[in-house]
Amino acid sequence: MIDFASPRETAAFVLLSLGLLFDLLGCVGLVRLPDVYNRLQAGTKCVTLGTFLLLLGVVVRFGFDAMGWKALLCIWFIAMTSPTGAHAIARAAHRSGVPLAAGSVLDRYQEDGEARDETRDETAASARGGSAP
């Protein structure tokens, strides 16, 4: 049972509730959004923030005992792996030719990333004395 007279318990409840809300919105985004790129954004941003808030609520609720330190370690691990994993999936999808949703207006990765990759391939090929693949 939560004792709302305690500010610590109230803060933990608010953080846990917000974390649950963000996780729920991220899950709805995974189902409702049109393509892999938009779904990755929902999965990465909403779910990562929601999980941060949930774990931070655990730290506030239980303090810096073994559970609190494990929650902080999980926050650090998620902060390091979630954006990296999402970037790797998005880049692999783009390079595999997965199309954008019909309503997408701009493809920044095509403008920035692929042009540099082609230039790098041509530079490497000319250094070898051949043509780019």
pLDDT tens string, the chain, 133 residues long: the values are 677 788 999 999 999 999 999 999 988 988 888 888 888 888 888 888 999 999 999 999 999 999 999 999 999 999 999 989 998 998 888 888 888 888 777 677 677 665 455 555 555 556 666 555 5
Four-way CATH pick for 7-128: 1.10.3470, 3.30.70, 1.10.10, 1.10.287: 1.10.287
Q: 59, 72 in Cβ contact below 8 A?
A: yes
Q: Residue ranges per domain, the chain? A: 7-128
Q: For residue 83, which of 58, 34, 49 has the smallest C-alpha distance? A: 49
Running DSSP on this structure, what letter comes out for residue 97?
A: T
Running DSSP on this structure, what letter comes out for residue 65?
A: S
Burial label, 41 (beta-carbon count in 10 A; 0-12, 13-18, 19+):
middle
On whether the pTM is more than 0.75, the answer is no
